Structure 1
């Protein structure tokens, strides 16, 4: 039975108590359903076929503020115009995007953040949670020593704020640096591009690190449900924050400890969050990030039709026609009657025909056929041939008579 991808989200009311209910919800409508920009499908620009996967393309980011370049290479820190403000000795901050939520978070709060990190001297990027599609939990006042400067900077931010932090080496990886992972040289000052997704105050309940498995999955699932409600209200940014915070409860360290029933319970919450984030990214035209979230789901569940469909949509928007077609073909094999998948394949076929027609018109007349003999030339050649057939025998007879006379 094919899934529907309607514009209005369909959010299930799943219970977090029983695994069976989670599995049923995950197989039906566990994530927010939508058709993304159907009205724009027939306006998609024609792009040449491409076999380049998203992982091989240069990543760029479009921001909502004017303080950062609209498009940049994420392998380098952003160039920020705002004034550098001293937070504490060894920690300075430049605001990239103002926060809209509450803050700053109080001490002992569990903060959920995304960040990229570079060594200030060499601009070597050594960490990127956005690239890993996995937000991190940072408990203020309980952080690792190497994240002391980052925690100080995050402690000055509001929810939704993004900033560039300048951290002295003594509040980062110290005199010795780190020679494992991440690889940071000795006495290296550090730059962090960080976004505060949200935080949980100590009075809200036990922090994720102190929760048992069931509590942690339940807390993540509540965030997911809240995100779905916000999405239905059209609050995309707020919905994304909830999905990101839900994922922060289920980081790699936590997931590696799970097996059997508990692993299935966690996946039943985690994958819908990735799929819902992919949907949000499609709506705000952050297609490369949508591809990343779908790829995370497909690594766990290669036959997830929604992940294939949404990744195909994102790739099509980026002009990666061959890759998009491959995703849609796989989705059609899984759900042959899925009308949305069929529609996308027809749209790609139409674009390919239009592109072929344009190329054929462009190169028309470039390679002309070899010149052929004209009718008049052919007739003249035929007349000379006939005359020569009469003259040649006479010439031979005359030559023989001449030789006889001489003898």
Structure 2
């Protein structure tokens, strides 16, 4: 992903350039030469700087964090709002359309009957399908003789994730989906326009249980976790932060699962790097959802292993800033800036926090002044002024006492001589 350092690195101009149906796609953007990247996804910092430029006078609204995308709030619609449990379908094969969600926005019709209801795949299995996707005008936008994904893991657009669960082995079905369950208002450049409905012809070729994580080699675990992480990146760039969190969580479970295989030091190091990337991006997504405590835990897990991780330092600083802990956030951001002095994003954030901290201290000073009842000039509380006004009589009293005592002593001396 892109990172900040000196000048912004080039980033992928359009998130949708990577097909949501392509589960073997490479990283979503160009690698960065900045020391802040270290091979991780750093799109959040780029995005946050864009937000700062657009909303310079507004309060910070998260990171971007878990990182080059239009700012958006977590949606309770579209992919994030659909039930994970598909509706029941009649055991009788019917030529009529099945209204999958009851809203008319997602429909399925059997074209070629399958091998029976008992052959339907279940969530968690790896399914392979043949796929052809077209626009309403018949233009083909996706075609694959074999496409494999994990059912129920949000590895693919929601229309397919839902409907394939209702298919039987060997079945061919037609699926009509509203844009809400495909590419949404963003579309997919250059072939899928915004808010475009799609028609899918899908044949279910096979379904098998997911691999036993305990038996995977270190390299296989890293590859599987990276695929889940990349899906999370796609969801993040679409603004679907709930789904992004889901994908990053799945990736972390893969990395952290127990094993019966001995890993080489190189494999252990690679798994650690994948874990760091997932935690950083997870923190970014949690910040977008205003889940500050969870984001702070994610950042701290990174810093426990890599105390000088700039992304984790930056996001931890932003979390604390969002919670109003400016005095704690500023030193953390200064530590990040010391590691990469040319990072403009950190510079910008630090300047904002310094101003907010100064404003906060000024407000606190004014509040304390009012609490102490100081309404006069000179900036001293009333109690201090009263103390000052009473100090003059005491000085005069002390002087008068000293003179009186001196007079008494002189009288005694004179009387003794006489």
How high is the TM-score relative to the length of structure 2?
0.47
TM, length-normalised to structure 1: 0.48
